[in-house]
A and B are shown apart, each in its own frame.
Chain A
Amino acid sequence: MPENQHQEPFEERLSAALHETGGGFDADRSALVAGGRARGRRALTRRRAGVLGGVAGVALVGVGGAMFLPQGNSDGSDVSAAATGAASRPSASAAASAPAPVSGDTLLDRLKELLPEGEFSREEARGTADEPGPYASLVHDDGRGAAAITVGFDRVEPGGAQVRQLTRCPDETFVPYDDCSSTRLSDGSLLRLLKGYEYPDKRVDTKYWSADLVTAEGQHVSVGEWNAPAQKGAPVSRAEPPLSAEQLEEVVTAEVWRRVVDAIPETPEPAGGAPTADLPPAASGEDVGRTLAGLLPEGLDVVRKGDPEGDFAYVVVDDGRGESLVQVNVQHGMGDIAGELYTDGETLPDGTRVAVRQGNGDDRVAGVLMWTADTLRPGEDGFRVVISAFNNGAAHAEPSRATPALTVDQLREMALSPEWDELR
């Protein structure tokens, strides 16, 4: 963005073509999320077990296995059924007892019946018997601008954590929105109506409004709509998506959808429970913070400290010329990406890799500098210490001073200190 004004016509056309092309791809988002979380958990388990090699590798396994959930176009679902990586084929007995399948065409017909008058185009759908699960998508034009509308279905565990995630209003720190309500309906269903954006950073004006319904039996129906004929890659066609919150509620609560969820073949129960996000076991945050504080040069006042957390710690220092955020990460198992991390760096006689970087600290706040010393000790454990200093006192804050309070040489010296080896 900052350099757009310097772009040549070809570059502008390329950018437009990339957006057009990229916007044509969509996947089952909830399955991607669930698959990612499963990998994260496995990595934590391996770390705890002391198996460090290859943690950061791209494991080309299980992609298909996790991708059995319905199109997650419109939901924020976090589905533990996929998270174990367990086989996702429906079991024979469960499939046999499932209600009659519902076809994709039927889904489209039912959706159109529920929508206001208008023209329909770009109709796509999968039925309940299709992998990876039922959904319907179309473009609806009520005469005031074409808009994409989707409906997706899956089953969640009643009362489980996913239900809360699907039906609770999100934390605005991460997901900005204009309006959100979360209510319990008279039949015990939970309903969330969310007026948000296709991009959490609102880089374009594409709005994404959604309704997520989870019934007491765990039937999940998700309806989404945009103020553009595609989720992305299409210009905004109208100020707001076509359906009001009330209309969205009417569509998502239609009885017909519950039968659709019932017709999805059962999947085997995932093994194990659903542990919550856990801390990396490596170094304790307290040790990291204490070590960092101990290595700060003289003359710096520590004005704030972060709560110790995992392998990360930060302090905010002030040398009298303004606040400066200093953060450190202490990581294990990073050896396999050394080639990427230290391309331009040096290798010390003992084999330690060092890279020093002076760059921008924040994509969205102009003038924020981030100076970094990045080190990787030799050894099987891939022990990495990265210290960065900023010329502001908090993430996303405006610059508070011209440069960070520590020089890159000071950062380098701190990161290379043998004190860190105590945490290996």
Chain B
Amino acid sequence: MRQARADEYAEFAAARAGHLYRSACLLTAGDTHLAEDLVQETFGRLYVRWGRVSRVGNPAGYAQTVLTRTFLAHQRRRSSRERATDVFPDLPGAGDGDASLRLTLLDALARLPAKDRAVVVLRYWEDRSVEETADVMNVSSAAVRTRCSRALGRLRELLGEDLTEYAGT
């Protein structure tokens, strides 16, 4: 029985690792080392709670929630001793896509406060509703709306209104 649950966990983690890592890379604005760390921490927490996570609820959604909260907790801890990054994040030689787009968008994300970035990632990468985003972040819907509109305004400034050339479609 326990082995079966361990197998379930391993299958789930293997299936979600890629997506969680990509989410983490956006949350960290391209800090791939931190992203790896956050994903491992997320999996560690899921491991501890797997019995319960697997039985009730939506494990994939739960994993995303844990990732976001882990990221926010991490930011909160280090905010006292670090300023937001002003340098371009360290980008891996990752596969495809337009490299200039990655730099620009990641750089813009890096200039957002962590919570605003989390809102943007949840809303526009995860496609979560305002209410869902509020649940994940443990804040009110109103707070999400405020952060979201502020973040969008800032991203418009940084990236320009016309993202069409980046949209890839």
Contact = CB atoms under 8 A, between A and B. Distances in A.
B96 A395 contact: no
Contacts of A102: none
A18 B125 contact: yes
Given A13-B164, A16-B168, A277-B6, A43 B152 contact: no
B17 A32 contact: yes
**Which secondary structure dominates where chain B touches chain A?**
helix
Given A23-B22, A35-B40, A14 B155 contact: yes
Given A33-B14, A276-B6, A233 B73 contact: no
Contact of B96 (A14, A171, A230, A343): A230
Nearest to A124: B95
B121 to A, nearest CB: 7
Contacts, number: 310
A58 B77 contact: yes
A37 B134 contact: no
A360 B132 contact: yes
A21 B26 contact: yes
Contacts of A170: 11, 15
A137 B25 CA distance: 21
A76 B9 CA distance: 11
Contact of B51 (A32, A309, A355): A309
Interface stretch (A161-169, A254-262, A376-384, A414-422): A161-169
Given A43-B44, A360-B132, A314 B166 contact: no
7 shortest interchain CB distances as A-B pairs: A36-B43, A40-B47, A39-B44, A312-B52, A13-B163, A76-B14, A29-B17
Interface of A: 1-4, 10-27, 29-30, 32-33, 35-44, 47, 56-60, 63, 66-67, 72-73, 75-78, 122, 124, 137, 139, 161, 164-165, 168, 170-171, 173-175, 198-201, 203, 229-235, 276-280, 306, 309-312, 314, 325, 327, 329, 336-337, 339-344, 355, 357, 359-360, 362-364, 395-396
